[in-house]
Amino acid sequence: MLRLASPLIAFGGEAIDNRGVIRDFPALSMLTGLIANALGWDRSEDNRHDALQRRLRMGAVLEPGSRRLQDFQTAQLGAGDMGWTTSGEPEKRDGSANTYAGPHLRYRDYHADLRAWVALRLQPADELPTLDEVAHALDRPARPLFIGRKPCLPACRLVAGWVEADHVLGALQAVVAQQGADDGSGWRAQWPDGEGGSGAFGHRSDVCDERNWRSGVHGGWRSVREAMLDTTGAAA
C-alpha cells in the first residue's frame, strides 16, 4: 500500500494550452514514473518503463475532505533565468529575444489536502523489479520524489505497509475498514475492472492513463470501476 499525501497533489490529466488539469485518481503512468524515479532510471529507458507499466495492477481510494483549487502562475523569465529539474539539467527558454518579451502565464489545478491510498501489485511478481525492491526504493529514492508535479512533495512516508487480499478492491476495502471514520462519509474508490466485485458493483468506465514511453504520449484504454465505499467495505 502507498499513501499519497501532500498539501497540494496533481494527478495530471490532458494539458490544453497553458491549462494543467487534473484527474480524480492517480494515473497508471504517474505511478510508473514515480517508481522509476525512485529506482533511479533515466527517462530514455523506455523499454524498462513500458515493461513496468504493463506489470502494474493498481487501484486507489480517496479520503473524504479534500478540495480542488486553481493556481494562476506568472513569471517574467530572462535569458539567464533557469529552472530546477529532476534530470539534473537546468530548464530554460530557447529561441530569439522575443521569447522573453512577455511573462510566462499558466493555470494549474491541484487537489488540496488530499490523502489517497493506493493498492499496488506486480504481475508477474517474480520479474525485476520485485515489489520488495520497489518498496525499498520508495523509502530510499535515488532522486527526490513528487506526486504529479515538482512542487507536490510527499508530506509523509509513501510506503504504508502491506495488505493480504484476493484482489485490488479487497485491499482498498481493507484500508477503508481500518482507516475510515464511522461518520457516514464514503470513500471514493477506483480499481481495475475484474480486480474484485461482481459485474454489478461499481460504475464501469474506460480511462486513458497509459503512457507510450518511447513516443512520450498517452494512448490506449483500460477498463476501471468506481464506487463509494463505507467503513465495512461495501458500497456507500
* Domains assigned to the chain: 2-70+104-229 (3.30.70.2660)
Q: Is the pLDDT of residue 101 over 80?
A: no
User: 52 by DSSP, 3-state: which?
Assistant: helix
Quick one: pLDDT at residue 200? 66
**167 band by pLDDT with thresholds 50, 70 and 90:** very high
Q: Is the pLDDT of residue 88 over 90?
A: no
Over residues 6-17, the pLDDT tens digits come to 999 999 877 777
| Cell numbers linked to 166 | 484476493
**Interval 165-171 mean pLDDT:** 94
Query: 15, 115 in Cβ contact below 8 A?
Result: no
**Interval 12-39 mean pLDDT:** 89
The amino acid present at 114, given as its one-letter code, is L
**Interval 142-146 mean pLDDT:** 94
Q: Is the pLDDT of residue 99 over 80?
A: no
> Which residues make beta-bridge pairs with 189?
61, 227
Quick one: pLDDT at residue 197? 76
Quick one: pLDDT at residue 81? 73
**84 band by pLDDT with thresholds 50, 70 and 90:** low
How many CB atoms within 10 Å of residue 189? 29
CA-CA-CA-CA torsion sign (48, 205, 19, 22): negative
Rg of the chain taking only CA atoms, in angstroms? 19
What is the overall mean pLDDT for the chain? 88
Q: HSE-up of 139 (CA within 13 Å, CB side)?
A: 10
Lowest mean pLDDT among 77-91, 118-132, 204-218: 77-91
E strands present in 77-198: 104-122, 187-192
Residues of the chain with pLDDT > 70: what percent?
Answer: 87
Region of 28 please: left (phi>0), alpha (psi -120 to 50) or beta: alpha
Quick one: pLDDT at residue 165? 94
